[in-house]
Amino acid sequence: AQKVTQAQTEISVVEKEDVTLDCVYETRDTTYYLFWYKQPPSGELVFLIRRNSFDEQNEISGRYSWNFQKSTSSFNFTITASQVVDSAVYFCALSEPGANSKLTFGKGITLSVRP
Amino acid sequence: EAGVAQSPRYKIIEKRQSVAFWCNPISGHATLYWYQQILGQGPKLLIQFQNNGVVDDSQLPKDRFSAERLKGVDSTLKIQPAKLEDSAVYLCASSLRSGGGSSYEQYFGPGTRLTVT
């Protein structure tokens, strides 16, 4: 069975600090996909990134970066120079390829960025 | 491009009443999902449609929940009768398709917040 663990529940930082959100996953599949979603107070889940299990290259997008390490089954997300607008709940999710590509979500991490 | 639309945004009902939620996916998206998100938890899949066929409804409480996707576009999710534990946000999502050896990103609507009293 698939499982996603986000051990951190709440993180509070001051603006301009860097922050890393941890994600550990479990799956028996050799092919799988990992995602990060952001859920601001408005409630809508916003897609941030998709990574397949064969691509371990780290990715950077502006202030966001992702570190995928298959050896430790982790897919961590770092926000550099955090801003108040980054305050949200962040979910890591896992899916298999195929007709049933449902997402298995972690419990989410509430990030608060204080001015 | 318009996003996933859902209505209503909020609903308050008493237990044992019925309620229905509506979802209009992104145009051209073949796959539609309904998730239930209980406060403090991640979303949990209730049902997945590929066009107008059900792909996965293994976690749908079929004694009280039902869903349909007529003509492979809009979808409705119904609860009858509602219980207190059904209080949650119901999220609809769509993706280009599913299958074909890949997993496509899902785009979510704003959700419907249901409170059962």
Tokens 């119904």 appear where? Answer: B78
Average confidence (pLDDT) over A39-52: 90
Can you say how many angstroms the Cα of residue A94 is from the centroid of all Cα atoms in its chain?
A: 10
A91: nearest CA partner in chain B: B42
Interface test with B, best of A102, A107, A110 (most B CBs within 10 A): A102
Please give the residue that has the higher pLDDT: either B47 or A52: B47
Q: Is the peptide bond before B8 cis (omega within 30 degrees of 0)?
A: yes
3-class SS at B8? coil
Residues B33, B36, B42, CA angle at the centre, nearest 5°? 105
CA distance B115 to chain A (A): 15
Per-residue CA distances from B91 to A79, A81, B22, B52, B113 (Å)? 26, 31, 10, 18, 9
What is the per-residue pLDDT for B101? Answer: 53
Q: Which residue of B has its CA nearest to A40?
A: B110
What does the pLDDT read at residue A96?
79
Output the average pLDDT for chain A. 92
Say if CB A45 and CB B43 are below 8 A apart: yes
Task: State the Cα angle at B79 between B77 and B84, rounded to 5°.
Answer: 130
Q: A-chain residues within 8 Å CB-CB of B55?
A: 99-100
Residues of chain B with pLDDT under 70: 1, 97-103
A:B CB pairs within 8 Å? 75
Q: What is the DSSP string of A7-76?
A: ---EEEEETT--EEE--EEE-S-SS-EEEEEEE-TT---EEEEEEETT----EEETTEEEEEEGGGTEEE
Measure CB to CB from residue B102 to each of A4, A44, A97 and give the nearest one.
A97
Distance between B103 CA and the closest CA of chain A, angstroms:
5
Q: Minimal Cα–Cα distance from A44 to chain B, Å?
A: 4
Please give the helix or strand (H or E) that residue B75 lies within, else none: strand B75-79
Length of chain A equals: 115
Tens of pLDDT, residues A96-115: 776 567 789 999 999 999 99
Whether the Cβ atoms of residue B37 and residue B18 lie closer than 8 Å to each other: no
Nearest alpha-carbon partner for A93 in A109, A80, A81, A82: A109
